[in-house]
Structure 1
């Protein structure tokens, strides 16, 4: 075991213990970026969204509605989606408040065929590892006046109640980050609602409130995993995340998913350390910085010795209080929950402070098998296609493939295969892993060449794929 101590500025002490590494767990499905569907989003005060689409003349249709900027409005779209805009919430690129008629343009991406048409990449980068996203609803919202792009006022916001395509409460909200060219996870921004048609968006089931008004539940204390690296860092209580303030002497274990950690980082005198939330339950990002250098590790809090026993006692006391309050809440909500199950529109509500693309997602966690696809042009058996996209309608997800190494494909889901070259679109209608013929990890996939070169309309793509 290697142990070292470094004194940080700002009274931060880090002790890293580098133990013998245990067996590495297999990474989740990795979605690899490709030139076929490349995102490109400039800053907020330029053209809001310019995404490189696979078909130059095809776009997911936008629905348009107008309202008076000085009064605000609740816009109801044919799909059931609603956009609630407060008064005086729109400004131009110079920060001047807008008055008069404003046009809202809403694109709802209802399935991965839409994601492909729009050129949207369904990959999420977390601590240097890419994961595929499974969507429960995605939309793009923009505003215009006289053909010019508009923006939400600084500090302002509006609410979107987006018709969703999937049950479940374990979805998160992501927004496209114009700086990093990647999806950004927005913590605790998504609310699942099933409103009665024609009623206010405020008519929602009463939420459960913790008896001690604690906004975030503390994670259950855990002991370290033998063989994993432990980071011990003293952080002032004022800088701790709320859910960890109830515990004392927490340490942080580098989880198996993290591949960025190296024991030699213990020898660096860092200037600053910060603990931030991650989209993984019970796990956090521990970030260290020095000058322009920055390192981030995916960790979970752990406790050793008597610290573990004390932490468990604190946790159990909190759980007992919550369970007592929860029983009362369940009695009140049981009838409302049964009624909600029968409501015709499943929706997810969230607030936005910038126009752009928002995605109700979770990390795709389906069983998969790694396949080395050999994509063959059916019109010329000697012509193989270098890259492509695998579209899963069942899980509402898409994996892009850049032609290098294996690609993780779902074992039990059908999928489409799409590919492009400079002159043609190629496609394989719904197939599955069980239908492929393997030679080792390699499998041939015969793609048809679209006779017209590229589709020229949204309806043409849908008709071609019989969707």
Structure 2
């Protein structure tokens, strides 16, 4: 009998091996603009080589859809096909940046990631340059709880061997025109992203998620810049997220440029009451009852956003004269719009009197202005490197730069494959055997996550590592198994028994964060209705809404449970906030069907609203 040599501890392939086995240039050329086109030097390779290359290219061309090679016509469905959040209620929310396509813009996320969008960067599905309003949605994923919440696949296949990604950061970026219509990047246009990273190890690579083939595509070795280097070399940005003081000059400043002249709210405008710190907006500090009216001259505003029950409405000053940025937030999405301060009829006259009083005392006004401006200059962040102080984790190490030429999901990761010890855990609930929907686990010392189906139940890990495990059932409940419990149980048996104590999604996520990072990241967990400004007494632990099939193409089935209240409403809202439909005749447990065939492909939210104003949402995709 022949002898076989079996390698049970296969080494991770080198960068050279990955480059030799990575997909063809054509399969990724539409994703990024980071590599040189080898066909540009075709004339140097000789006639025989040219014929071989041409033949190979012809096979590729005629077996691939090239009706419009300059445009990715797949739309949003291809950006979400293999991304399935295990519990939509706690999915990582999006930040939305609204701007005019003709202007482009530069934005800084709350984490400090910088996004630079050039002018006229987008096309519609026909390839026509888009010149109207744009909603750019952006999500970041930096830690294990983010990977879990998003449902983004974290495995990588190289030469038939599956690896798990250790991550230095990921992001998802999409764009939409009016009505939530998906946009694509125009040929030759790129969006530059400097993503914050908590890991300065040079080993990481850049990948793009091909959601059609359901796999990650290797792009190139990750480009890393230390935080202090980027901060020192960067010019001042045009970001709309926060605004530093523009001048520290001691020269006299016109009072009118500091104290806002009162303006009466328009009866036909969209007016919000926002939360803000008067110390950070001293130009409004002399007033009470300030409202903020959406400025429709600088962007189109979807009336559907005005009907949404927002968890919070915050305001920051923009760099446009007299305008502010309203941040409308709820657990599943964030929208930012331009607005200006106004007063209702009852407060307007009082505000005018205060303004005139300050103007009459010009000397005091100037002194007060300089004092408050100096305070702001001293307190506000002066550069990107200082943003780390507001992050819910350790200080950022630097930035990983990616030039994006198609929208979707990118990561800066490293494929790992360790020598595993296998166990098959048994789970019980109240003493009865229980099979979870999914099983997740991670090594606390590595920023990577593993998962398997509950029916498979095989858990592999490296012996001696610090493992946290958690499971999810079909109704979205979570149970977290601590490092100590996991170690104690697996020490005794390869078939350890774990008694599960299930929690609500929010409670489970909070416990997972605590087990991994202590008290860090608690602020990253989406707020519930009980904790928002719209406080109600109803217990929502059992409230549930289901949407299927997901993705949907022609019809969507909706069913809810957990409330017997009358006058329940169900609304379908686009990711841009536009209300698509409303269902008023709702009964718990009854399946309702609605037609979505006329909807543009994209992401939508099915929102259940109780008479008390409380609501929950389920995300679905119209393909």
Q: Is the 8 A contact 2:133 2:177 kept in 1?
A: yes
Q: Quick one: which of 341, 363, 370 aligns to 2:421? A: 370
Query: What's 2:177 paired with?
Result: 145
Query: Cα distance 1:435–1:121, how it changes in 2: closer, same or farther (>3 A)?
Result: farther
Structure with bigger gyration radius: 2
Displacement after TM superposition at 1:99 (Å)? 1.3
Displacement after TM superposition at 1:461 (Å)? 4.6
Query: What's 1:79 paired with?
Result: 111
Q: Is the 8 A contact 1:133 1:397 kept in 2?
A: yes
Query: What's 2:452 paired with?
Result: 401
Give the match's secondary structure for 2:480.
strand
Give the match's secondary structure for 1:79.
coil
Structure with greater strand share of residues: 1
Query: Cα distance 1:387–1:49, how it changes in 2: closer, same or farther (>3 A)?
Result: closer
Q: Per-residue displacement from partner, 1:334-355 (whole Å, max 9, x unpaired)?
A: xxxxxxxxx9651111111111
Q: Per-residue displacement from partner, 1:397-446 (whole Å, max 9, x unpaired)?
A: 11112344743213344333222332352422431664333456333333
Task: Tell me the distance in 1 between the aligned counterparts of 2:150 and 2:199.
Answer: 21
Q: Does 1:45 align with 2:45?
A: no
Q: Quick one: which of 168, 191, 194 aligns to 2:201? A: 168
Q: Quick one: which of 83, 86, 89 aligns to 1:57? A: 89
Query: What's 1:158 paired with?
Result: 191
Task: Tell me the distance in 2 between the aligned counterparts of 1:187 and 1:194.
Answer: 19
Q: Per-residue displacement from partner, 1:263-290 (whole Å, max 9, x unpaired)?
A: xxxxxxxxxxxxxxxxxxxxxxxxxxxx
Give the match's secondary structure for 1:397.
coil
Task: Tell me the distance in 2 between the aligned counterparts of 1:399 and 1:447.
Answer: 19
Give the match's secondary structure for 1:168.
coil
Q: Does 1:382 align with 2:433?
A: yes
Task: Tell me the distance in 2 between the aligned counterparts of 1:417 and 1:43.
Answer: 40
Q: Is the 8 A contact 2:226 2:397 kept in 1?
A: yes
Q: Quick one: which of 454, 466, 469 aligns to 1:417? A: 469
Deviates more, 1:165-174 or 1:430-439: 430-439
Deviates more, 1:148-157 or 1:194-203: 194-203
Task: Tell me the distance in 1 between the aligned counterparts of 2:188 and 2:211.
Answer: 18
Alignment of 1:230-269 (within 5 A): none
Displacement after TM superposition at 1:373 (Å)? 2.8
Q: Is the 8 A contact 1:103 1:145 kept in 2?
A: yes
Q: Quick one: which of 391, 401, 414 aligns to 1:349? A: 401
Task: Tell me the distance in 1 between the aligned counterparts of 2:227 and 2:435.
Answer: 50
User: Structure 1 length as normaliser, TM-score?
Assistant: 0.56
Displacement after TM superposition at 1:387 (Å)? 4.3
Structure with greater helix share of residues: 2
Q: Name stretches of at least 5 consecutive residues in structure 2 with no aligned partner.
A: 13-71, 237-394, 515-521, 523-623
Displacement after TM superposition at 1:447 (Å)? 2.9
Give the match's secondary structure for 2:7.
coil
Displacement after TM superposition at 1:164 (Å)? 0.8
Query: What's 1:25 paired with?
Result: 8
Give the match's secondary structure for 2:430.
coil
Q: Is the 8 A contact 1:376 1:383 kept in 2?
A: yes
Task: Tell me the distance in 1 between the aligned counterparts of 2:470 and 2:73.
Answer: 30
Query: What's 1:437 paired with?
Result: 490
Q: Is the 8 A contact 2:170 2:410 kept in 1?
A: yes
Q: Name stretches of at least 5 consecutive residues in structure 1 with no aligned partner.
A: 1-18, 30-41, 204-342
Give the match's secondary structure for 2:149.
helix
Query: What's 2:123 paired with?
Result: 91
Q: Is the 8 A contact 2:100 2:131 kept in 1?
A: yes
Q: Is the 8 A contact 1:66 1:102 kept in 2?
A: yes
Q: Per-residue displacement from partner, 1:131-176 (whole Å, max 9, x unpaired)?
A: 1110010111111222221111123221111011212110001111
Task: Tell me the distance in 2 between the aligned counterparts of 1:344 and 1:128.
Answer: 35
Q: Quick one: which of 509, 513, 526 aligns to 1:462? A: 509
Give the match's secondary structure for 1:436.
helix
Displacement after TM superposition at 1:71 (Å)? 2.6
Query: Cα distance 1:392–1:140, how it changes in 2: closer, same or farther (>3 A)?
Result: farther
Displacement after TM superposition at 1:56 (Å)? 3.1
Query: What's 1:292 paired with?
Result: none
Query: Cα distance 1:461–1:139, how it changes in 2: closer, same or farther (>3 A)?
Result: farther
Give the match's secondary structure for 1:24.
coil
Q: Is the 8 A contact 2:206 2:219 kept in 1?
A: yes
Give the match's secondary structure for 1:422.
coil
Task: Tell me the distance in 2 between the aligned counterparts of 1:127 and 1:63.
Answer: 37
Query: Cα distance 1:71–1:21, how it changes in 2: closer, same or farther (>3 A)?
Result: farther
Query: Cα distance 1:441–1:380, how it changes in 2: closer, same or farther (>3 A)?
Result: closer
